[in-house]
Amino acid sequence: MTVTHTQMPSTDHGHAGLAGETRSEWTKFRSVRSTWICLFIILLAGIGLSVLLTFIQAARWSQSSLQERATFDPVAFSQSGHFISQLVVGILGAMIITSEYSTGLIRTTLATVPKRYTVMAAKKIVIAVVILVIGEVTAFASFFAAQIILTAHGGTELPAGASIVTQVKSASIPVVTIMSPGVLQAVVLSGVYLVLLSILALGLGFIIRSTAGAISIYVGILLVLPIILNFFPSGFKNSVEPYMPSNLGIAMVVTTTRTTDWAGVLLTPWVAVLVLAIYAAVFLLAGLWFLQRRDA
C-alpha cells in the first residue's frame, strides 16, 4: 500500500517570488559593466565637482560680492556635485528596465515571473537600495571634504542663529559641522533626493521602453522645464517654480533660507521630499499600468 503525501501549496508565493526576483535583478544589475561605470561617475563627479567648486569659492571669498556672501550655504554648496550625479542616477534608473526591452530579455523575465508587478517591485528595490548607499556615501564624503577645504582656507563656524549681516561682514568663509542645526538632515536628504529620482526614472523606463527616449524625457524634466518656465508670466512662474524637481532637490539640502534669493522659491525640506515622492509614485504607477497592458 502506498501512502501519498500531498504537500499543501504555500500561501507565501508573493514574498518568495519577490525575494527570488530581487536576487535575480541584483545579479543582472551588477553583472553589467555600465552599472559600475555609472556608479563610479556618481562618486567621482559628486565628490570631485563639489570639492572643486568649494575650493574655488573658498579661494575667492575675499573678492566675493555681498550678494554671493549672503547666499552662500556651506551645506548646499558641498552637494553641488549632484548636478552631475542626478543625471547619471536617471540613466541607471531607466536602463535597469529599458536595456531588457532593447535586448528582448524582458520576455524571458516576464515568462519566469508572470506577476508583472513583482518584476517592477524587484527592480525598484534594487535601484533604490543601490542609489541610497552610493548617494549617502557621496553626500557625506562631499560634505566632509568641503568643510575640510573651507577650514583650510580660514573658514570659521558662525555662532548659532547668526544673522545674514554677520555672514556678509565676516572675513572668514562660513563652516559648519555635521551636528550644526539642520546639517545632518540636509546631508541625508541629499542621498534621498537621488533615490527618488532613480525611481522616477525607473517609471519613465517602463513607460517609454527606450533608453534614449526615457533619458531624454528625464533630462527634459530636470533641466529643460525650468528654462521653459521662464517664458511664462511671473505669477505663474513663481507659483510653479518651487515644485520643479531640481528646486525640490535644492530645498532638501539648503540650510540658509533667510536670504531673499530663496524666500518663496523653496518648499520646506520634508514637503519637498513628499512632493518628489509623489512625482516618483505617479511615474511608477503609470509605468505599472503600461507594463500590465502592453505586450513585451
State pLDDT tens for residues 148-158: 999 988 777 76
Rounded alpha-carbon distances, angstroms, from residue 55 to 14, 119, 137, 145, 175: 51, 44, 20, 10, 13
Give residue-wise pLDDT tens across range 33-81.
Answer: 999 999 999 999 999 999 999 999 888 887 877 777 777 888 988 999 9
Beta strands in 99-236 (DSSP E): 156-157, 174-175
Beta strands in the chain (DSSP E): 156-157, 174-175
Q: Is residue 23 part of a domain?
A: no
Q: Is residue 24 part of a domain?
A: no
Write down how long the chain is.
Answer: 296
CA separation for the pair 185, 178 (Å, rounded): 9
Residue 2 has pLDDT above 50, yes or no: no
Q: Is residue 16 part of a domain?
A: no
Report yes or no: 186 and 254 within 8 Å, Cβ to Cβ.
yes
For the ranges 72-76, 110-114, 216-220, 257-261, which has the lowest average pLDDT? 257-261
For the ranges 31-35, 185-189, 238-242, 258-262, which has the lowest average pLDDT? 258-262
Q: Which domain holds residue 166?
A: 32-293
- Orientation of helix 183-208 relative to helix 116-152, angle to 10°: 140
Report yes or no: 156 and 175 within 8 Å, Cβ to Cβ.
yes
Q: Is residue 13 part of a domain?
A: no
Rounded alpha-carbon distances, angstroms, from residue 180 to 48, 183, 237: 24, 6, 33
The amino acid sitting at 182 is G
> CB neighbours of 280 closer than 8 A, spacing ≥ 6?
196, 197, 199, 200, 203
- Orientation of helix 82-103 relative to helix 105-112, angle to 10°: 80
Confidence of residue 116 (pLDDT cuts 50, 70, 90): confident
CA separation for the pair 251, 78 (Å, rounded): 14
Q: Is residue 243 part of a domain?
A: yes
Residue 12 has pLDDT above 60, yes or no: no
Q: Is residue 182 part of a domain?
A: yes
Q: Is the dihedral of CA 51, 56, 60, 64 positive or negative?
A: negative
> CB neighbours of 171 closer than 8 A, spacing ≥ 6?
62
User: Which residue has better confidence, 133 or 103?
Assistant: 133
Grid coordinates representing 272 are: 519637498
Per DSSP, the chain holds a count of helices (H) and strands (E) of 14, 2
Triad 144, 148, 150: Cα angle to 5°? 115
**Rounded mean pLDDT of 80-107?**
92
Q: Is residue 6 part of a domain?
A: no
CA separation for the pair 210, 235 (Å, rounded): 36
Q: Is residue 280 part of a domain?
A: yes
User: Which residue has better confidence, 279 or 13?
Assistant: 279
Mean pLDDT taken over the chain = 86
Q: How many domains does the chain have?
A: 1
